[in-house]
Structure 1
Amino acid sequence: MTVQAAAAIRSNDAAPARPSVAKSWLNAIEITARIEREPERLLCDTVAEWEMRTPNAHALLSERERFSYAELARRIDGYARWALAQGIGKGVTVALLMPNRPDYLAIWLGITKVGGVVALLNTQLTGSSLAHCIDVAAPNHIIVAKELSGAYDSSTQHLATAPRLWLHGDDDAEVGLSDALAIANDDPLTAAERPAVTVDDTALLIYTSGTTGLPKAARVSHRRVMSWAGWFTGLIGATSDDRIYDCLPIYHSVGGVVATGSLLMAGGSVVIAEKFSARRFWDDIVRYDCTLFQYIGELCRYLVQAPSGSNETRHRLRLACGNGLRGDVWEAFQARFAIPRILEFYASTEGNFSLYNVEGEPGAIGRLPSFLAHRFPAALVKFDFETGLPVRDEQGRCIRCARGEAGEAIGRIGEAERGGGRFEGYTRDGESERKMLRDVFAPGDAWFRTGDLMLQDAKGFFRFVDRIGDTFRWKGENVAASEVADTLAACPGVIDASVYGVSVPNHDGRAGMAALVTEETFDLAALHRYLATRLPAYARPLFLRLRQALDLTGTFKQAKQTLIAEGFDPSVVGDPLYVADITTGGYVALDAPLFSRIARGAFRL
């Protein structure tokens, strides 16, 4: 396999791959091949292996705590024994609501070691939104950090399920986790104690808003965890000497599995920041002597726009890895901060293929080398915005896009063995079926719909164009317009609401905007307070447009394309416009001078 892959790399595509590129692919192939040879080896086992080799080396570090490999291995086994004592075994779900910290990793690694499934809850959610995500997972237990107990309390009146609550970090609580954990010893689990768990068992539930509707819980098997970690370990060339800076939410697949798993697999160190701070970023990179960091594109843009700092080029970074780095930010980011190499990629939590820009082509999200096309079968098909579906020909088959033509990216759903093209779906089968296309190019075939528009350039690189449907991305988070509209419609004084994303100069993604039909009693200040208790900050509409009525299509669907095109420019829009003002803590009238400030980037959003 490795020899054949090497030969394929040397003869692949028009231009020969640089040695470093070839080595990256070979490393990833060799690492992930081990998954098939050792299906009972999980990520927790790689930690135990490094504990034997380098017990005192740092595994996880943060401001509040740090674990060596020996300490992390003991912590994992402590949580595993706690789980067994509570009857948590294969298929039993535990929800986890906790900010970024090393113990977060120890918790889910320990619970999943004995077959439990851990649902990673978004820490920005409250009330009914949080309750929905808990109910989707239907957990038997929930672990809640002390500082997030208020958020959990706000959800309980909306819950249909009744998980057993365990408070983390509150030693005085009657339902505290500390006392229960203290009873369970942290010696290595014996073979007799440990249930049989393989890579094909479910490990995590990670939430994604997808392209429509409320957040969905995607099933993530141990195979996917090991595959994500293995591919990135190889592609970034991670070693035990590396230290990665991770300031992304670790309830997400990138921040919580890719960044952390790739370094734990390599025996390196993970620095976990509680949240991203542009002011503190470079100081942290230098203080922790990081060699790698994980980004999302919005983070890079924030750093480019931030004032210069003394540490921004005094680092030892050798590579930045992430997704969503726009072409117009890429080169400025790399040059200003002296980043030797950028590895951009494309993937989704529930998706069945990935793209990797190993060559460092600015603005591209990756490409599929010919020798790996069978492992990650992907295609771009023509898309009809009127129907919201791919275009089909006279025979009922989808139509592939030509080079340079934008279409929806889809991935062929393959057999379970070897992991190629696997689609593990969501907790609710109906939602899984809605993400699938059937009879695409041949009778009986099935493909996963990404909901993303892409095009492929002349070199074979894929380039991201836009999201399909109502979902838009803001502040690094996918926002489901229907969920926001439902929340708005329940606010006193709101008759009807249409939610969509609009482009904002000098900002990545699309900001939320809502067109509202309101009663005479409608109160803007009350709306702002209402949304603050029901939606996370990134999902609250940044712009408002008050209308007499909403336009509908012939099939009585909301017509949004004109609204999106007109945006929030008062010279184009005749309706009253408002924008959320951080300084006043409410919505303020949006006039021409204020629009000019927003367009220049002089108004903080």
Structure 2
Amino acid sequence: MSAIDTVPTRSHDSRSVMKAWLRALELTAPITGSPGRTLPVVIDELAEKVGDAPALLSERECMTYGVLADRSNRYARWALDQGLAKGEPVCLLMPNRPEYMAVWLGITKVGGVVALLNTNLTGPSLAHCVNIVAPRHLIVDAELLEPLIAAVPDLAGASRIWVHGSTRTHGLPRIDRQIERITGEKLHDTERRPVTIQDRALQIYTSGTTGRSKAANINHYHLMQASHWFAGIMDVRSNDRMYDCLPMYHIVGGVQTTGAVLVGGGSVVIREKFSAREFWNDITRWDCTLFQYIGELCRYLLRVERCREETEHRIRTCCGNGLRPDIWNEFKTRFRIPQILEFYGATEGIVSLFNVEGKPGAIGRIPPYLANRFPATLVKFDVETEQPVRDERGFCVRSAANEIGEAIGKVSTDPSKLGARFEGYSNEEASQQKILRNVFEPGDTWFRTGDLMRKDANGYFYFVDRIGDTLRWKGENVATSEVSDAVRAFPGILEASAYGVAISGSDGRACMVALVIDKELDLAALRTHLMQRLPAFARPLFLRIRGDLETTATFKYAKTDLMREGYDPANTSDVIYFNDPERNAFVRMDQELFERIQTGNIRL
């Protein structure tokens, strides 16, 4: 335990912390009382009140609230014209841009459900995400059409593909042209459908401890609750401007803090991809007051040479998750950031934590007066079985102070407690794997986050690691089972076991694969094979050639020793290869190369 854990934080006084919680409670209290008031409805209301105010801004285009409502109405009518049924999914594959939000606001306005596809996916990985929601319609930006076309042979069903933007469309219809021919005026009563906060709105993909990507169901209540809660916690005002360079297909980059700024009448600056070199220039040029982060983003910013703009800005708060204790104070001090609001939230909902006090390294704390609203706890966890420990009565055991355990959240069947409901995934079996029953008493039900944490004596939670078959790298969750499958599909590989290894100076764990082969390996061809089947963040950084792979009594690959030995050639006589980004090739690892990676001399 570090000294930082034992000293109460003084970043924010108790009065300002209490005000933040009260603002959030006040803004979210009316949601259940108006079940027909969804986020698309809120945007329509703002269009009538402040239609000329900026809403979504980018280098490509700028949308006022009026234009955003107009554009979303066009997509709503497009959905009606296609005969889209209430609850029917539409897949969306589009880079970050204002149009992205207009698409899903419009389709969900009339009861459709939009599945937000990861724009980094290719081949079978992309096809899998489409297949599990089985849409009749798929909207793709012209820039991403080729990866989608390449995935078509692996698609299980016949989705109609609509292209947005100018391209050689393979004879496919242009949705942007169709939208221009549709009126954007407010929907008439005869066009409206009875959509409520209990209805599904989005499907956001998450790769959890049970393997490949799953489509988590997000209802309209979740969108409203997250948007208004963050608006309260951040004290969003109409003159605020949020800088958003995180992927809009994720819950953070596309819903939580962006929604918070919009319901507060502010504006969001959308950048297609994060750039450490352009970050502070963008912040000052767009006059932003807020930005959202993931921990890796903060680390990248610290590596860039100092510039004048990094301290000449109007940022008052940054909000995000994954800012590690080793860089927290340096990040706050160097960039002169008044408030860091770290939080934790599973895509599926249920478990949410907020570090309103600004305690370095903590992901949140649940005040005693909000314990009933945030029923989350840690339970003792068996790393070998990857299951919570149970006592002689068969119940789970709460973790002691500073003891690592799995974070779980209580699931309610009470229809009035929408925030404590688990909406599940597109696959019922996957949904059941995330549920724990008979946890502390007969019949109770809890949601498994798949995350290991610890809680100190003052009630602050700290993230430790992901459980089992998932690791986190470059801000993305990577299912090791999917990596292993891709590697095993290459000729000459008999067995493959993917796992995560820690790299000095990097957040998360990089992917490493132990292999058993039956002939000499064509490393160049294997690298090409993996580039075609896996997104960049999931491709193995290291390969380890072994004579065999140890398995457990239940025939799972034993990874504990492999993870401990890592990629240091001094720890094994096995041959290890490094996926060298400078040479664009797998190269044999030696001690000199190991030291270069460890000291950060090779950019990963």
TM range (shorter): over 0.9
Quick one: which amino acid aligns to residue 549 of structure 2? L
The separation in 2 between residues aligned to 1:241 and 1:20, in whole angstroms, is 21
Distance across 1 between alignment mates of 2:453 and 2:569:
32
Q: CA deviation at 1:574?
A: 1.3
**2: CA distance between counterparts of 1:14 and 1:413?**
34
1:311 counterpart SS class: helix
- Conserved 8 A contact 2:76-2:109: yes
**Aligned-partner residue type, residue 292 of structure 1:** L
Residues 320 and 15 (structure 1), Cα distance of their counterparts in 2 relative to 1, 3 Å cut:
closer
Deviations for 1:42-63, whole angstroms, at most 9, x for unmatched residues?
A: 1112212221222111100011
1:523 and 2:519 matched: no
- The aligned runs of 1:281-430 (5 Å cut-off) are 281-414=279-412, 415-430=414-429
Letter in 2 for 1:304: L
Q: Which residue of 2 aligns with 1:539?
A: 538
TM-superposition CA deviations, 1:501-548 (whole Å, max 9, x none): 000000000000001111224211111000001100000000111111
> Which amino acid counterpart does residue 129 of structure 1 have in structure 2?
S
1:505 matched residue in structure 2: 504
In the other structure, the counterpart of 2:4 is none
Amino acid at match of 1:109: L
Select which of 270, 273, 292 maps to 2:271: 273
1:351, distance to aligned residue in structure 2 (A): 3.4
Q: Contact 1:351/1:448 (CA < 8 Å) preserved in 2? A: no
> Residue 17 of structure 1: CA displacement?
5.6
Say whether residues 1:84 and 2:80 are aligned partners. Answer: yes
Q: Which residue of 2 aligns with 1:7?
A: none
Out of 112, 117, 127, the position equivalent to 1:121 is 117
Distance 1:351 1:597 in 2: 41
1:58 paired with 2:57, answer no
Q: 1:103 aligns with which of 99, 106, 114?
A: 99
Identity level (%): 55
Q: Displacement, 1:191?
A: 2.3
Following TM superposition, where does structure 1 have runs of at least 4 consecutive aligned residues deviating by more than 6 angstroms?
A: 13-16
For the residue of structure 2 that corresponds to 1:184, the secondary structure is: coil
Worse-superposed segment, 468-477 or 172-181: 172-181
Q: Indicate yes or no: 2:29 matched with 1:30.
A: no
Q: Which residue of 2 aligns with 1:484?
A: 483
Q: Which residue identity is paired with 2:603?
A: R
Tell me the distance in 1 between the aligned counterparts of 2:157 and 2:374: 38
CA distance in structure 2 between the partners assigned to 1:601 and 1:16 by the alignment: 35
The structure-2 alpha-carbon separation of the partners of 1:484 and 1:172, relative to structure 1 and needing over 3 Å to count, comes to closer
TM-score (norm 1): 0.96
Residue equivalent to 2:470 = 471
Please tell me whether the aligned partners of residues 351 and 450 of structure 1 are also in contact (alpha carbons under 8 angstroms). no
Partner in structure 2 of residue 556 of structure 1: 555
Give the CA RMSD over aligned residues.
1.5
Paired residue type of 1:362: P
Distance between the aligned counterparts of 1:570 and 1:14, measured in 2? 45
Cα distance, 1:284–1:396 mapped onto 2, change above 3 Å: same
Structure 1 counterpart SS, 2:292: strand
Deviation at 1:557, TM superposition (A): 1.7
Confirm whether residue 577 of structure 1 aligns to residue 576 of structure 2: yes
Structure 2 CA distance for aligned equivalents of residues 105 and 421 of structure 1 = 26
Secondary structure of the residue that 1:437 maps to in structure 2? strand
1:23-48, CA deviations, whole angstroms, 9 ceiling, x for partnerless residues? 11111111111211111111112212
For the 8 Å contact 1:404–1:456, the answer to whether it is kept is yes
For residues 498 and 416 of structure 1, the distance between their equivalents in structure 2, rounded to whole angstroms, comes to 43
Task: Please tell me whether the aligned partners of residues 352 and 448 of structure 1 are also in contact (alpha carbons under 8 angstroms).
Answer: yes
Pick closer, same or farther for the CA change 1:534–1:14 going to 2, 3 Å: closer
Pairwise CA distance, 1:15: 13
Contact 1:322–1:343, Cα closer than 8 Å, also in 2: yes
1: CA distance between counterparts of 2:434 and 2:210? 10
* 2-structure distance, mates of 1:285, 1:565: 41
The aligned residue for residue 9 of structure 1 is none
Secondary structure of residue in 1 paired with 2:235: coil
1:14 shift after superposition: 13
Query: Residue 417 of structure 2 aligns to a residue in which SS?
Result: helix
SS at match of 1:571: helix
In the alignment, what sits opposite 2:5? none
The CA deviation at 1:584 is 1.4
Residue 468 of structure 1: CA displacement?
Answer: 1.1
Do structure 1's residue 153 and structure 2's residue 149 form an aligned pair?
A: yes
**1:99 alignment partner, SS class:** coil
Aligned-partner Cα distance in 1 for 2:11–2:119: 46
**Equivalent residue for 1:70, pick from 66, 71, 92:** 66
Letter in 1 for 2:438: D
Greater CA drift, 370-379 or 259-268: 370-379
Q: Is the 8 A contact 1:374 1:420 kept in 2?
A: no
Q: Is the 8 A contact 1:322 1:345 kept in 2?
A: yes
Report the counterpart of residue 4 of structure 1 in structure 2: none
The one-letter amino acid paired with 1:402 is A
The more displaced of 93-102 and 346-355 is: 346-355
1:309 CA displacement: 1.4
Tell me, which stretches of 5 or more residues in structure 1 are unaligned?
Answer: 1-12
2:167 & 2:324 partners in 1: Cα distance?
Answer: 46
Deviation for aligned residue 1:172: 7.1
Q: Write the deviation string for residues 318-355 of structure 1: whole angstroms up to 9, x where unpaired.
A: 00000011011110000000000000000011131200
Alignment-derived partner of residue 445 in structure 1: 444
User: What displacement does 1:420 show?
Assistant: 3.5
User: Distance in 2 between the 1:74 and 1:407 partners?
Assistant: 48
Alignment partners' CA distance in 2, 1:418 and 1:433: 20
Cα distance in 2 for partners of 1:417, 1:148 equals 41
Task: Report what 2:3 is aligned to.
Answer: none
Greater mean deviation of Cα atoms: 344-353 or 315-324 = 344-353
